[in-house]
Amino acid sequence: MLKKIIETSGFNAVVKGRYGYIVYNKNDIYVGKSIEAYGEFSEFEVEIFNQVCTAGDIVVEVGANIGTHTLVLSKLVGPQGRVYAFEPQRIVFQNLCANMSINSISNVECHQMAVSGKEGFILLPDIRYDVEGNFGGVEIDKFQTGQKVPAVTLDDFLEIPCLKLLKIDVEGMEVDVIQGAKTIIETHKPIIYIENDRSEKSKDLIEIIRSLNYRMFWHLPPLFNPNNFAGNKTDIHPGIVSVNMLCLHHSIHPDLNGFSEVIDSGFHPMKKTDI
């Protein structure tokens, strides 16, 4: 475990991590526990960003959570670049803003909004952040009561001259995000890095991305990085991987090693098959 810079009687703490100071929720079983144990989260995803993003780029991050990857992206695009980070959960969003502030980040715009296929609102009830939970796994489109949170489409909300990377991690709302971003995607042909961990929704997601003239490649990085910032050799998430896709427009000719191309929209790496 890393030594906490700030320990509070509440659910938040602060550590010095790989990419700066990080305010995190001690009760979060994936992001928070990883930050506390390793000073980083899902570093094998960061390897993708390192290869994709350069100074001056524009990045859109839908589902930024507390900003562990937002910090990385802000450093990669530099002062001439820009990161647009969207996070709808109010308490999680406050930590996102705190992490940009405590590290004096000025090239990130944080928005407490849901990104969807149409403009409007979603309803988010009060969530217990003072008890253990997977706060990054909240399916925000499942609630019928709660506080109104604005929902926007990227096509309507953003006016950007270019887009290098579109990162999407939205717990089952991936198709909605793509539907509301078709114009931006068709115009700028960004690299798309998107979570696809729900086998029942995978086919529709693959087919809508394919309809935009994209190729897709499975990326299944483990949460545990043996060479983590804290030098902690204990895997607190044994066997846990993220299920993502790296999506490239057909005009891009990648030199990829170790990636399996998505061919069959009915196949999902986590889908159980009948024997």
**C-alpha distance from residue 129 to each of 26, 143, 187, 192, 275 (Å):** 9, 17, 39, 30, 41
Q: What percent of the chain has pLDDT over 70?
A: 98
> Cα dihedral sign for 116, 117, 119, 124?
negative
Signed CA dihedral, 59, 63, 67, 69: sign only: negative
Instruction: Report yes or no: 23 and 9 within 8 Å, Cβ to Cβ.
Output: no
C-alpha span between 150 and 157 (Å, rounded) = 11
Spatial contact of 66 and 25, defined as CB atoms under 8 Å apart: yes
**Whether pTM exceeds 0.75:** yes
> Tokens for 181?
């971003």
- Is 193:48 a contact under the CB 8 Å cutoff? yes
d(CA 102, CA 6): 12
Reported as a single tens digit per residue, the pLDDT across 73-126 is 999 999 999 999 999 999 999 999 999 999 999 999 999 999 999 999 999 988
Q: What is the pLDDT of residues 144-154, one digit of tens each?
A: 899 999 999 99
DSSP letter for each residue of 217-240: EEE--BS--TT-TT-----SSTT-
Q: For a pLDDT cut of 90, what percent of the chain falls above it?
A: 86
Listed by start position, the domains of the chain span 41-261
> What pLDDT sits at residue 273?
53
- Residue 275 reports pLDDT greater than 60: no
Is 151 in contact with 173 (CB distance < 8 Å)?
A: no
231's CB contacts (< 8 A; 6+ apart) are: none
- Single-letter amino acid code for the residue at 120: G
Dihedral angle computed from the Cα positions of residues 26, 59, 121 and 207, in that order, rounded to the nearest 10 degrees: -100
Cβ(68)–Cβ(100) under 8 Å? no
> pLDDT by residue (tens digit) across 1-34?
677 788 888 999 999 999 999 999 999 999 999 9
CATH code for the part of the protein at 41-261? 3.40.50.150
The token pair that represents 270 in the structure block? 């986590």
Two tokens at 134? 């997977």
- C-alpha angle with apex 211: 51 to 257, nearest 5 degrees? 30
115-172 pLDDT, tens digit per residue, is 999 999 999 988 999 999 998 988 888 888 999 999 999 999 999 999 999 999 999 9
